[in-house]
Amino acid sequence: MRLKTFPGGVHPPDEKKYSASVPIVDIPIPQKVTIHLSQHIGSPSKLIVSVGDEVLTGQKIAESTGFVSLNQHSSISGKVTAIGNFANATGSNSMAIQITGDGLDKWIELTDEPNFIDLPLEEMKKRIGEAGICGMGGAGFPTLVKLSPPDDKPIDTVILNGVECEPYLTSDHRLMLEKTAEIVLGMKLIMKILGAQKGMIGIEANKPDAIAKMQEITKNEPAIEVVPLQLRYPQGAEKQLIYAATKRKVPAGGLPMAVGVVVQNVATAFAIYEAIRYQKPLVQRVITVTGSPVVSPKNIMARIGTPLSELIEFCGGTSEEVGKVICGGPMMGFALPSLEATIGKGSGGLVLLNKKAASLNEEGNCLRCARCVDVCPMNLVPCMIVSAIKYNNLDLAVKSGLNDCIKCGACAYVCPAQIRLVQYIDTGKIRYAETKQAKK
C-alpha cells in the first residue's frame, strides 16, 4: 500500500533510537512542583488559592477566565509555598503556583463511571473542561474549545495525531503501544461529542508496531481507520496531516473545522478518556528525556510542574558536556537557558544535545537557491518574507504569508547559507503584533 503524505517538507534523521524501545516509567513524586497559570493558548488561569493553603493531588488551584482558557490543578498534595514568576518550559518566566509536597500524594476523590460512553454530551464536555485539558502535542489549544465548533461548521471526521514527526521524541509512540485501548476509547468519545461519522489515526511508517497494534484493536471498528504515513516532517502539523489523510485543504487563515475536521493528539485522547471516565484532571503526562548526553534516556510519566533537573537526574544524569537543552523537539522546541523550568501540559520531550550537535555555523547571504520554497509545507517563499522583515517592511511580509507560517523550521533546515529563517519570521510576527496593538 502506498503511504500517504503531503507536498513539501523534509526528512531529518529521526534519532528515535535512544528511547523508542524504552517502556514508560513513573518518576518518584517530586518534593516540589511549579504549576504555571498559562500553559495554553488563551487567557491565563485565575488564582483561587493563597500561600499557606493545603491542597490535594488533583485539586483545582486556578480556574479558567473565559471560553479560551483552562483550569489548573495541583499535581501533588501539600502546601502552597509561593506564588510568583518562575521559569517555564518556553525559556521565559511567567506567573505560577509553587507547591511543596507532604510526601503522601493524597488525591481528590476520583470515580469510575462504567457507562461513561453513554453519558450526556454536555456532561462529557463539562468533565473535559473541569479537567483542564489542552492539546498535548505542543500547541496547547484548550480542548473544550476544539470540541465546541459553531453549528454552521459540522464535523464529519476526527483525526488522531500519532505522527510524532519531531526527531528524538517517542512519548506518543510509547503511549500508543501501552495505552492503545484507552486512546481508541478517547477517540470514540471525541467522535460522539462532535457527531463525527469517521475516525482516522495517522501514524508515520517508522512506528510499525504502533500501526499494527492500532489496526488490531480497531479491526472491528468500521468507522475508524488507521492511516500509515510516509516519513516526512512536519506531517504532525494539523493542516499537513489533514491533507495527507483526507486530501482536504484547509484555507489560508482558516481552521480545520472549515473542512469538517478536528485533529487531536493521541495523548490528548488518552487524557479525555481519563477525564470522562474517572473525572481525573490533567496532572501528569508522558515526556521523553533523550539525547546523546543522557546516560539512560527514558519515556517518563511525570507530574505537571516537575523540575526538568529532576527528570535528568532520574535518567542517570549526563555523560558528556551539554551544548543545548531543548524543551520539545529540536525543530520546534524551545532552547532553555537552564534546567530551572518545569514541565507543562504541552511538554512532550526534553532533548539534550552535545556541543557538536548544538554548534551553529556562521550565517551567510541568501543564494536564491529556492530550497526553502521547495520544502515549505505552506507553499510560502520564506526567503522573501525574511527579506521584507530585514528591511522592516512588515506589510510586505504579511502579504507574502508571514501569518501563514507555522514555524516548522523546514526552511532553515535546508538553507545552505545557514540563515536563521525561523527566528527572523518569529521576530517579524512579534513586531507585527506589537504594531497592530499600538494602533488600537
Q: What is the pLDDT of residues 14-44, one digit of tens each?
A: 999 999 999 999 999 999 999 999 998 889 9
Predicted confidence (pLDDT) at residue 72 exceeds the cutoff of 80: yes
pLDDT tens digit sequence for 345-388? 999 999 999 999 888 889 999 999 999 999 999 999 999 999 99
Lowest mean pLDDT among 1-10, 49-58, 293-302, 368-377: 1-10
What grid cell was written down for 50?
Answer: 493563597
pLDDT digits (tens, 9 = 90+) for 202-235: 999 999 999 999 999 999 999 999 999 999 999 9
What's the pLDDT at 299?
98
Greater confidence (140 vs 107) lies with: 107
108 confidence band (pLDDT: 50, 70, 90): very high
Per-residue CA distances from 406 to 332, 377, 394 (Å): 10, 9, 17
Rg, the chain, Cα only = 21
User: According to CATH, where is 3.40.50.11540 located in the chain?
Assistant: 1-26+110-359
Please list the residues that pair with 142 across neighbouring strands. Answer: 134
The pLDDT tens digits of the residues spanning 237-250 come to: 999 999 999 999 99
Decide if 8 contacts 375 (C-beta within 8 A): yes
Residue 30's pLDDT is 97
pLDDT of 97 higher than 80: yes
Q: Grid coordinates 483545582 are at which residue?
A: 60
Band of pLDDT at residue 137, cut at 50, 70 and 90:
confident
Helices (H), 103-157: 121-131, 143-146
What is the rounded average pLDDT for all residues in the chain? 95
Task: Give the residue-averaged pLDDT of 380-400.
Answer: 95
Give the C-alpha separation, 175 to 183, whole Å: 8
The grid coordinates of residue 26 equal: 513513573
Give the other-Cβ count within 10 Å of 185's Cβ. Answer: 21
Out of 3.40.50.11540, 3.30.365.10, 3.30.70.360, 1.20.1530.20, which CATH number does the structure's domain 1-26+110-359 have? 3.40.50.11540
Q: Whose CA is closest to 281, among 73, 76, 425?
A: 73
Cα dihedral: 104, 108, 109, 114 (round 10): -110
User: What share of the chain has pLDDT > 90, as a percent?
Assistant: 90
State pTM to two decimals. Answer: 0.95
Task: Report the distance separating Cα 304 and Cα 284, nearest Å.
Answer: 5
**Angstrom distance (rounded) from CA 110 to CA 58:** 9
Indicate left, alpha or beta for 132 from its phi (over 0: left) and psi (-120 to 50: alpha): left
From CA 419, how far away is CA 361, in angstroms rounded?
9
Question: Could you tell me the pLDDT band of residue 439, with boundaries at 50, 70 and 90?
Answer: confident
Residue 375: strand, helix, or coil: helix
Q: Has residue 1 got a pLDDT over 70?
A: no
Q: Is beta strand 334-335 parallel, antiparallel or unpaired with respect to 322-327? A: antiparallel
Q: Mean pLDDT throughout 141-160?
A: 94
pLDDT beyond 80 at 312: yes
The owner of cell 484555507 is 251
pLDDT on residue 124: 98
pLDDT band at 67; cut points 50, 70, 90:
confident
Of 71-75, 135-139, 320-324, the one with minimum mean pLDDT is 135-139
